[in-house]
Amino acid sequence: MKTPWAPRICTLKRNSRFLGLSLMDDLENAIGKCVLYRTTLSYGEPDRRVFLAMPFDAAKIFEEPFGLQLIESNVLRVIVFDPSEEEIVKWIP
């Protein structure tokens, strides 16, 4: 059921503290959740877009070939934020 007052963008935000064994561990879990939420939302609200919000220090992975491939293959859309300033510093659609 579509809610007319809901924003057109749905944001999935991961806690800025990493709890896994490594950054790759955390990224694997976050990507899995993004794909799950995106797939689930696509049935009832296909116009919604899911973004993974990541602190800027962890988002450096998207400057590497592996991270760029995730973005270019449309696996992820990312919002990079500064946790100390509580502001968005970059959108990676």
Number of compact structural domains in the chain? 1
Binned at pLDDT 50, 70 and 90, residue 3 comes out as very low
Angle made by CA atoms 37, 38, 41, in degrees to the nearest 5? 80
**What is the pLDDT, as a whole number, of residue 9?**
47
62 vs 3: which has the higher pLDDT: 62
Would you state the structure tokens that stand for residue 91, as one six-digit string?
């959108």
3 in any annotated domain: no
- pLDDT value at 32 more than 80: yes
14 in any annotated domain: yes
1 in any annotated domain: no
How far apart are alpha carbons 34 and 36 in whole angstroms?
5
67 in any annotated domain: yes
DSSP 30-76: HHHHHHHHHHHHHHH-TT-EEEEEEETTGGGGGGSHHHHHHHHTTS-
Q: In a 3-state reduction of DSSP, which class is residue 58? A: helix
4 in any annotated domain: no
Residue numbers of the domain that contains 27: 9-92
45 in any annotated domain: yes
**What is the pLDDT, as a whole number, of residue 89?**
92
2 in any annotated domain: no
Return the CATH number at 73. Answer: 3.40.1350.10
Q: What is the pLDDT of residues 33-89, one digit of tens each?
A: 888 888 888 888 888 888 888 888 888 888 889 888 888 887 788 889 998 988 999
